[in-house]
Chain A
Amino acid sequence: MNAIIFSAVLGVVMMFSGIILRSKSAVTTTAIVSLLVLLLANIFNIYDVFSIHIDTRGLLHFNKFGLFFNTILIAATLIFVLLSGKDIEKAGANVSDYYALIFFVLCGTSILTSFNGLLMLFLGIEIMTIPLYILTGADKRNLKSNEASLKYFLMGCFSTGIMLMGIALVYGATGSFSLNVAASSPASAGMPVSSFLQMAGLILLFVSMCFKVSAAPFHFWTPDVYDGAPSVFTSFMATIVKAGGFFAFLNLFESNAQLLGATWKLLMSFVIIATLLIGNITAVFQQSIKRMMAYSSIAQAGFMLFALYSFNDMAKEGILLYAVAYCLATIGFFSVLIKVKDYTFDGFNGLAKTQPVIAFSATVFLMSLAGIPLTAGFFAKYYMLASVVKSGGSLWIVVVAVLFAAISVYYYFKVIQAMYFKEGQPETHEITGRFKTGLVLVAAAVILVGVLPSIVLNWFYF
């Protein structure tokens, strides 16, 4: 409960900090301190010290898995603000508002990592996405940013509508908002059994969740929104928000997937392969690195979806590791991308010569995204694939996935090629020593998790 309360309160604090604090950097510092407080509050919650208990009548349910996942998201936000705080200040005029919105998003993810009923799922999703519509449009005078915001808003509303319809159908069928649709059997509630309504409701929920995590074929909004939003916020959306969405997706279907029986695996296979295919193949043809990263985030989502395919311990451990690996690498890489003025591949030409430290860190991030051993991304992918084999799933889907992973090397390494093997004078924004230190630390973390993934997982096991 700590994280939900603290994130909401701190969000309000951040909102007013703009009135009191004159300088933008002071606002950033406040945000960093507040994030630390939030992080601590959530960690206390895991160990059950200083934790606030409120009887929510079973609407919320706090377990270690969810709390730990939320810790990852808050920590990732902290790293994001530490690395890109200066760029958030530049995104527009109302810095304190952006931070406030970021806290409200975290409030949403805190609900999404603990919801125990469809009603809370809906609340969490809405609290998480509404601030994002605003953040996407933060660059008010930029037409692309406005377009992205509107597009995101309209599509988001549409998918929320689908979700509500799904919830309504499930409620109609079972008479309950309980997460475990199967357990709340219609018969026991003294209502006529209507498995058709139940099924239709679940499918609608599935569609809307696919939409939120940009899984194909419901991914169409992603490239435009990610491309149009100010780059700092793209980084935030592509990592923390997406991971939060995934957790909700996993949590929602963990007990309900069996209702669909064998159809579930078939459905997931289709969605996974479509997502991998569209994400990877389209990313290959992009000219702008930012847009490439948007498609890459779709491709990465394809891998995360394996957790929903297999639903076993390994999948749960894997999604944790994936969240860590993916957030670190993507936040790290975006923070570099923001510093470079030209987002085309040519804009990175020769970066290794002018900014060796930055180029090296970026290489580590890209390798992690590509899943090369010794980086966190390898074990993330490894766990996902292993969970499929362990669950007795067919090997062919693993083989297809690795084929796509090999394709992903193509576009990630194109950036490395530009940085190291091509001549050029890349124009960059001001790069401070502090930024470099932070970036190297994140890169070191990526490698550390890549060598000893047990660091993350033992935390989960305790």
Chain B
Amino acid sequence: MTALLLILIPLAAGLVSFAMKQDSAAKTISLLASVVTLALALAAVATPSAIVYDVAWLNDLGSRFTLKMDGLSKLLALLTAVAYPLIFVAIHRNEYKKTASFYGLMLLAQAGLMGVFLAADVLLFYFFWELALIPVYFLSSIWGGEKRIAVTFKFFVYTFLGSLLMLAGILLVYFQTADHSFAMKAFYEVQLSGAQQTVAFWLFFIAFAIKMPIFPLHTWQPDAYEQSPTATTMVLSGIMVKMGLFAVVRWLLPVFPQATVQFGNLIMILSIIGMLYASLIAIRQDDIKRLIAYSSIAHIGLMCAALFSGSKSGTEGAMIQMFSHGVNVIGMWIIADQLEQKLGTRKLSEMGGLAQKAPAMAVLLVVMALANIALPLTNAFIGEFLMFSGIFQHNMWMAVAALISIILAAVYTLNMVQKVIYGSLSPASSTAVDISGNVKLALIIIAVMIIVFGVFPQPMIELTRDTVAGLFVKK
């Protein structure tokens, strides 16, 4: 039941929010709903066993409405549930035209995301995979920047194409299952010939790779992140890209074990190329949103490479990092949003000396930045450490290449920090004021999470244990 409520509450609250005449009412309802969802997610995490919800849906097709929360699902449901109150608090004072619709769509996106992370039936998963996309499409196209329509459309068509290919892959596997069923169990137990594995593997992987995104399918991402309203970018880069990584763990590795081994190296190489490439571009970026976007590609590339390394620690690290990166990157986006609002520009070259004017923001930016380069004692460290050890076990040279991107990450992140808060006061910064209470609250919560999980990551490792064990038992 908890699992169902995690989807239903955002869905219902989203629909109610649409009907609200007053903006403040919509904001209150959304915040309340997201807090209730968070409480439920925490309750789910506290439950030691897997939570299952199962009712009949499409019997003729062999598809049931099955939700299942194992460790990884819990972790990502928690990420979704944590992210939303933070986003809502941080954007509380932002002005959006048609506020009620904005919040309504945000909550509908949350319902879709939850569904993706909880679904234990491929057809249901496919449904939610698409449904999460539609609200985001509207959010970005209505409230986004100047080039929003074309950019969001590119993003939509890209991902839609990916999901259709996945549908073809799903059909291929479906008809090979013993009792023609879409259930997770049936997919895990399916026997495929080598050729079928190869074809279906790629059909699935292209969908996931577009979502993540993995080089060379990433071209939609920087534009979409830049043009979307920042609150939506937080959802996109904090949670939505995790859909791709999550789907790899849930639907790719266990269903196509041979193909995973066969093509793992190729995918790792692509991921690492993407990491280096994105990091190099990030160094050259002047727009802060684009910088974070490219940095995000690099981080996702590392997680993807670790997932395909076939090692336990790499997989574990990637799962933990999904959560940590989600939290951290939302922190980065909140700062970017604030900078844009306070300074009226996103260009790093026009910023400078902000520490004098906005000390609180400066301190919090440094914390986020340190987490972004995965310094020890931040939450990102443990995940990256595990991932590198996993990649190293697989192939030393790949680990070395990937490590270069860490150095590059330090270069662009610290460079950004330096340009924003140090140096002489730029004209844009001179009129800036420090962040308001609500933003401070959101950022402090994130900073606390960064440090707490950095020092004490054990709970997260425990949580993902059953999923990791499940993956490696199969082999």
Q: What per-residue 1/0 map shows which CB atoms of B49-69 lie under 8 Å from chain A?
A: 000000001111000000000
Number of B residues with CB within 8 Å of any CB on chain A: 29
Residues of A within 8 A of B448 (CB): none
Residues in A432-462 with C-beta less than 8 Å from chain B = 452-454, 457-458, 461
B130 within 8 A of A: yes
B160 within 8 A of A: yes
Within 8 Å by CB of A374, from B127, B156, B175, lies B127
State whether A454 and B60 are in contact (beta carbons under 8 Å apart), knowing that A385-B167, A398-B168, A409-B157 are contacts in the complex: yes
B8 within 8 A of A: no
Interface centre among A399, A402, A405, A410 (most CB of B within 10 A): A402
- Docked pose: A372 CA to B137 CA in angstroms: 13
- Docked pose: A386 CA to B149 CA in angstroms: 33
- Docked pose: A432 CA to B161 CA in angstroms: 38
Q: What per-residue 1/0 map shows which CB atoms of B131-167 lie under 8 Å from chain A?
A: 1001000100110000011000100110011001101
B199 within 8 A of A: yes
Q: What per-residue 1/0 map shows which CB atoms of B189-205 lie under 8 Å from chain A?
A: 00000000001000100
Q: What per-residue 1/0 map shows which CB atoms of A374-385 lie under 8 Å from chain B?
A: 100000001001
B171 within 8 A of A: yes
Within 8 Å by CB of A395, from B57, B134, B164, B172, lies B172
- Docked pose: A64 CA to B59 CA in angstroms: 22
State whether A420 and B141 are in contact (beta carbons under 8 Å apart), knowing that A389-B175, A409-B156, A409-B160 are contacts in the complex: yes
A417 within 8 A of B: yes
Residues of B within 8 A of A389 (CB): 171-172, 174-175
Residues in B182-221 with C-beta less than 8 Å from chain A = 199, 203
Residues of A within 8 A of B171 (CB): 385-386, 389, 398
Q: What per-residue 1/0 map shows which CB atoms of B111-138 lie under 8 Å from chain A?
A: 0000000000000001100110010001
Closest B residue by C-beta to A410: B157
- Docked pose: A372 CA to B165 CA in angstroms: 13
A413 within 8 A of B: yes
The answer to whether B148 touches A406 (Cβ under 8 A) is no
Residues of A within 8 A of B199 (CB): 395
The answer to whether B142 touches A420 (Cβ under 8 A) is yes
B10 to chain A: closest CB distance in Å?
16
The answer to whether A402 touches B126 (Cβ under 8 A) is no
- Docked pose: A389 CA to B148 CA in angstroms: 38
B118 to chain A: closest CB distance in Å?
16
A421 within 8 A of B: yes
B137 to chain A: closest CB distance in Å?
8
The answer to whether B149 touches A402 (Cβ under 8 A) is no
- Docked pose: A406 CA to B207 CA in angstroms: 13
Residues of B within 8 A of A374 (CB): 127, 130-131
B252 to chain A: closest CB distance in Å?
18
Q: What per-residue 1/0 map shows which CB atoms of B439-461 lie under 8 Å from chain A?
A: 00000000000000000000000
Residues of A within 8 A of B138 (CB): 420
Closest B residue by C-beta to A397: B168
The answer to whether B59 touches A454 (Cβ under 8 A) is yes
The answer to whether A373 touches B157 (Cβ under 8 A) is no
Residues of B within 8 A of A453 (CB): 58
A391 to chain B: closest CB distance in Å?
10
Closest A residue by C-beta to B127: A373
Q: What per-residue 1/0 map shows which CB atoms of B251-293 lie under 8 Å from chain A?
A: 0000000000000000000000000000000000000000000
Residues of A within 8 A of B165 (CB): 399, 402
- Docked pose: A403 CA to B59 CA in angstroms: 29
Q: What per-residue 1/0 map shows which CB atoms of A231-247 lie under 8 Å from chain B?
A: 00000000000000000
Binding site for A on B (CB under 8 A): 57-60, 126-127, 130-131, 134, 138, 141-142, 148-149, 153, 156-157, 160-161, 164-165, 167-168, 171-172, 174-175, 199, 203
A–B Cβ pairs within 8 angstroms, 13 of them: A372-B130, A386-B171, A389-B172, A399-B165, A402-B164, A402-B167, A403-B164, A405-B164, A410-B153, A420-B141, A421-B148, A421-B149, A452-B58
**What are the 10 closest A-B residue pairs judged by CB atoms, nearest first?**
A402-B164, A406-B161, A373-B130, A389-B171, A373-B127, A398-B168, A421-B141, A421-B149, A399-B168, A389-B175
